[in-house]
Chains A and B, each alone.
Chain A
Amino acid sequence: MDLRFSPEENAFRQELRSYFRSAVPEAIRTKVNENRHLTKQEWVTAHQALHAKGLAVPHWPKQWGGADWTPVQHYIYTEELQFNGVPQPLPFNVSMCGPVVIAFGTEEQKKRFLPRMASLDDWWCQGFSEPGAGSDLAGLKTSAVRKGDHYIVNGQKTWTTLAQHADWIFCLCRTDPEAKKQLGISFILIDMKTPGITVRPIQTIDGGREVNEVFFDDVKVPVENLVGQEHRGWDCAKFLLGNERTGIARVGYSKQRVQRIKELAAKVMAGDKPLIEDEHFREKVAAVEVDLKALEMTQMRVLAEDSKRKDKLPNPMSSILKIRGSEIQQATTALLMEVAGPLALPYQMDGEGAMHGSNEPDDNDWAAPAAPTYFNYRKTSIYGGSNEIQRNILAKAVLGF
């Protein structure tokens, strides 16, 4: 057992760090570090800067643009990316739909979709949740009825993140209403420009508009857009959700936020001395740092274990990463809001993600996103399989209940 990084691994880290800092514009990285919302163009700019160096889809097979790295290199990549405020390569493309197409798609589908997915020439969004199908995802009702060489899709998806920018949506649709819940579902790719699709934004409690409802009204989709076998889309969904859990710990972003909390708390005065000198506050920060270190070590253990697994099935232990990762993200956003204190109050965010407050822009504009981010991050224990669903997974798959 040796938990240190090798000199080669440290050099790899340095190389990535300097590339991230030079290739991704600082204005974008600052926005990410401050938890401000990015425009579509900013997402695309950052993603394509990574893609230019083969850094958008390093976890894909080499043939489709992957990097053939060791698990440790993947870990370092994710950590450096997050720690330096680089937006994740669009997760709907690279972590969700891409791996499903690679694992279940036909050669034609791979050739048609993967290159544009990797380069973010196509923006994808995820059509899974429905008003009546959240944690019980298999209860979804959106139907795809086969008519000749087309499916006719009817229904509604919700919580569709950034659908307002999307060119394509990957959807779970019910293709066999008679079959048992999980067995009548298919994984279908739908062009967002197809007639009959309506996107309606949902404003969340932080004031932002990241998520949407997507309505399908007699939408005609060519049968060739089915991924995997008809009625076996649940296999794709399970595969996708398993992949989602490992990326969700977001250790690097939390590390960056803790550092920011410490820097800001050294400047913000509480009476005669900086807030960081307040014993109680300082201990709260230290407690989060301990949690984060434990999470980081656990993530490395899961990674090391995964690299030895032959079945490539999701490791149920990654549910622990989801639970602790989301809780720690929430704790850091709460602490950041605490640093802002009364300065957290006077702001409102508009639908485009811009902050409006009586004090902005001035010395306190760092405080503007503090409360909205705290409110926004309540989502982290709900999405990607709620933390309660993760506990169900652990109870069943690890503890054998």
Chain B
Amino acid sequence: MDFDFSDEQRQLKDSIDRLLNGAYGDLNKRVGYMKEPTGYSANLWRQYAELGLLGVPFAEEHGGLGQGLMETMIIAEAFGRALAIEPYLATVVLAGGALRHSGNATLLGELVPAIVEGKLTLALAHQEKQARYDLADTATTARSDGKGGYTLEGEKCVVLHGDSADKLIVSARASGARAERKGIGLFLVDAKANGVTRRGYPTQDGMRAADVTLSGVKIGPEAVVAGPEKGLQVLERVIDEAIAALSSEAVGAMASLHEMTVDYLKTRKQFGVAIGSFQVLQHRAVDMLTALEQARSMAYYATMMAGEADASERRKAMSAAKVQVGRSARHVGEQAIQLHGGIGMTMEYKAGHYFKRLTMIDMAFGDSDHHLRELAKAGGLS
């Protein structure tokens, strides 16, 4: 048992913190990045590539750094503190994870070097409107052409960074009923391919997403990322890693927001004194700290368990983490706005943006209630 980072991990943390402190220190810079054509900073994306961040989880034989979930945690937490909006989760964790866990060596060899260099962005197009948080619920169809290729037909929604991605990894059903576990494949689709229509939009938390329509999109056998026999298993692993990363991102965001709030309480004066001298407000700041630390503990737990081979143990652990992180995120976010008073309600102040990101993290890949239900159904943690 050891909670310390290795020297390399500490260096990684320092270098990314240094970069992001400069790049995101001023909220106006973030607003500037949002106005770029892709909705994020192309320059920063290049710098992430230079730092090696984009190759972290990929194997060395494919051109990656061969690092693990712990490094992803460090990066995600830094993103959370900075409120960074670049498509790290979309490209590296989600779509990159789908490539890694499918074990498709040809595609990995072909795509990873470009991802690592920052020249290729990806998005995972899985969410559908009717599915809510059921990962198996996939109405989009993949009709086999009998020669190993498929024709894709259907609609995906809220595809994170789907409007700027160069390529999409699309989930589609080759067989079975709409919510059946079997029969879902993952397919690589060029974002500009015939039959792909994307409608992009900004999201509540300052990022971007897209609704994607696939109509008669033809792909060859080389574009099958994971066949219908294992697509859902791959998706589940990927989403579990995404939950671990999002948990860490939430911890970073909560920590910064809590720090801001405590600073505010110490400086804001009313009735001739700093409002932080009032016990009722101190205790609320303490309750936020407790919520933050419980979430941090569960983010560590999620990071540890995201690599667990036993799928049912892994899923239970991720659900438990998501319950805690979601509840803590909502608590810390709501309290931070209340304790800031009016200034917390304004777009020009950072607290509200943390609050919005934290709220959206709770809604991503199953909110607290969803995961509590899943955990209870699975018999609980012990």
The reply to whether B298 and A297 form a contact with Cβ atoms under 8 Å apart is yes
Q: Give every chain B residue within 8 A of A174 (Cβ-Cβ).
A: none
Question: Looking at chain A's contact residues, is the secondary structure mostly helix, strand, loop, or mixed?
Answer: helix
CB distance from A135 to the nearest CB of B (A): 13
A218 CB-CB contact with B under 8 Å: no
Task: Decide if B271 is an interface residue (CB 8 Å cutoff).
Answer: no
Residues of A within 8 A of B298 (CB): 290, 293-294, 297
CB proximity of B260 to chain A, nearest CB, Å: 13
- Closest-by-CB residue of B relative to A71 is B1
* A35 vs B290: C-alpha distance when bound (angstroms): 28
Q: A290-B324, A399-B286 are in contact. Are A3 and B1 (CB under 8 A)?
A: yes
* A1-B380 in contact (CB<8A): no
A287 within 8 Å of B (CB atoms) = yes
Cα distance, A1 to B296, chains bound together (Å): 14
Bits for A383-401, please: 1 = Cβ < 8 Å to B, else 0. 0000010011011001111
B376 at the interface (CB under 8 A from A): yes
> Interface 1/0s, chain B 280-317, versus A by CB < 8 A?
00110111011001111110110010000000000000
Interchain CB contact under 8 A, A301 and B297: yes
Q: Are the C-beta atoms of B380 and A286 separated by less than 8 Å?
A: yes
> B274: shortest Cβ distance to chain A, in Å?
9
Output the least CB separation between B269 and chain A (Å).
14
CB of A317 closer than 8 Å to a CB of B? yes
A3 vs B308: C-alpha distance when bound (angstroms): 13
Chain B residue numbers with a CB within 8 Å of A259 are: 382
Q: Are A399 and B262 in contact (CB under 8 A)?
A: yes
User: Looking at the complex, which of B2-10, B143-151, B159-167, B357-365 is the stretch in contact with chain A?
Assistant: B2-10
Q: Is B276 in the interface zone, CB < 8 Å from A? A: yes
Contact A282 B289 (CB under 8 A): no
Binary CB contact string for chain B from 145 to 177 against chain A (1 if under 8 A, 0 otherwise): 000000000000000000000000000000000
**With contacts A391-B282, A399-B289 known, is A294 near B297, CB below 8 A?**
yes
Q: Which residues on A sit within 8 Å (CB–CB) of B377? A: 282
**Most chain A CB inside 10 Å of its own CB: which residue of B266, B293, B298, B300:** B293
Q: Give the shortest distance, in Å, between B376 (CB) and chain A (any CB).
A: 4
For residue B373, CB closer than 8 A to chain A, the reply is: yes
Do B375 and A304 touch across chains, with their CB atoms under 8 A apart?
Answer: no
Residues of B within 8 Å of A72, CB to CB, are: 1
Q: How far is the CB of B102 from chain A (nearest CB, A)?
A: 27
Nearest chain B residue, comparing its CB with the CB of A287 = B372
Within 8 A of B (CB), among A284-321: 285-287, 289-298, 300-301, 304-305, 317, 320
CA distance A333 to B271 in the complex (A): 43
- A60 to chain B minimum Cβ distance, whole angstroms, is 23
Please tell me if A363 contacts chain B, counting CB pairs below 8 Å. no
**Among residues 29 to 52 in chain B, which have CB atoms less than 8 Å away from a CB atom of chain A?**
none
Chain B contacts for A305, CB-based, 8 A = 3
- Which residue on chain B has the smallest CB distance to residue A279? B376
Query: In whole angstroms, what is the CA distance A291 to B380 when docked?
Result: 12
**Contact A297 B300, CB 8 Å, known A2-B2, A401-B277:** yes
**B279 on interface, CB distance cutoff 8 Å:** yes
By beta carbon, the residue of chain A nearest B381 is: A289
Q: Which residues of A contact B381 (CB under 8 A)?
A: 286, 289-290, 292-293
A287 contact set on B, CB distance < 8 A? 323, 372
Q: Are B3 and A3 in contact (CB under 8 A)?
A: yes
For the complex, give the distance between the alpha carbons of A259 and B1 in Å.
25
Residues of B near A286 (CB, < 8 A) are 323, 372, 375-376, 380-381
* A61 CB, nearest partner CB in chain B, Å: 23
Interface 0/1 of A270-290, CB less than 8 Å to B: 000000000100110111011
**Complex contacts, A301 vs chain B, CB 8 Å:** 3, 296-297, 300
Is A17 part of the binding interface, using a Cβ–Cβ cutoff of 8 Å?
no
A399 and B285 within 8 A (CB): yes
Cβ–Cβ contact B279 & A392, under 8 A: yes
Q: Restricting to B224-239, which residues have a CB under 8 Å from any CB of A?
A: none
Interface: A59 (CB within 8 A): no
Given A4-B1, A293-B301, is A395 in contact with B294 using a C-beta cutoff of 8 Å?
A: no
Complex Cα gap A2–B1 (Å): 5
A290 near B372: Cβ-Cβ < 8 Å: yes
Residue A29 CB within 8 A of the other chain: no
Q: Is the C-beta of A12 less than 8 angstroms from some C-beta in chain B?
A: no
A1 and B4 in contact (CB under 8 A), knowing A286-B375, A297-B300? Answer: yes
Task: Report chain B residues within 8 Å CB of A298.
Answer: 293-294, 296-297
A153 at the interface (CB under 8 A from B): no
Q: Do A3 and B289 touch (CB < 8 A)?
A: no
When chains A and B are docked, how far (Å) is the Cα of A5 from the Cα of B372?
27
Is the CB–CB distance between B297 and A289 below 8 Å? no
B111 within 8 A of A: no
CB distance from B378 to the nearest CB of A (A): 9
Chain A residue, CB-CB nearest to B320? A290
Q: A104–B265 Cα gap in the complex (Å)?
A: 39
| A243 to B189 CA separation, bound complex (whole angstroms) | 60
Chain A residues within 8 Å of B304, by CB? 3-4
A261 smallest CB distance to B (angstroms): 10
Q: Does B27 contact A (CB under 8 A)?
A: no
Give the complex CA separation of A205 and B159 in angstroms: 57
CA distance A317 to B297 in the complex (A): 13
Tell me the complex Cα distance, A262–B283, Å.
34
> Of A279, A290, A317, which is within 8 A of B323 by CB?
A290
Q: Is B20 an interface residue (CB 8 A)?
A: no
Contacts of A350 on B, CB cut-off 8 Å?
A: none
Instruction: Collect the chain B residues with CB atoms within 8 Å of residue A9's CB.
Output: 1
Nearest A residue to B9 via CB reads A1
User: B218-253 vs A: 1/0 string, CB under 8 Å?
Assistant: 000000000000000000000000000000000000
Interface contacts beyond A262-B380, A282-B380, A290-B298: sample of 7 additional A-B pairs, CB < 8 Å, sorted by A: A290-B375, A290-B381, A292-B381, A293-B301, A293-B381, A297-B297, A401-B282
The 3 A-B pairs with the shortest beta carbon distances in the complex, nearest first, are A297-B297, A395-B282, A286-B376
Can you pick out 14 interface pairs between chain A and chain B where the beta carbons lie within 8 Å of each other?
A1-B2, A4-B304, A259-B382, A283-B372, A286-B375, A294-B298, A297-B298, A304-B2, A323-B290, A324-B294, A391-B283, A392-B282, A394-B286, A394-B290
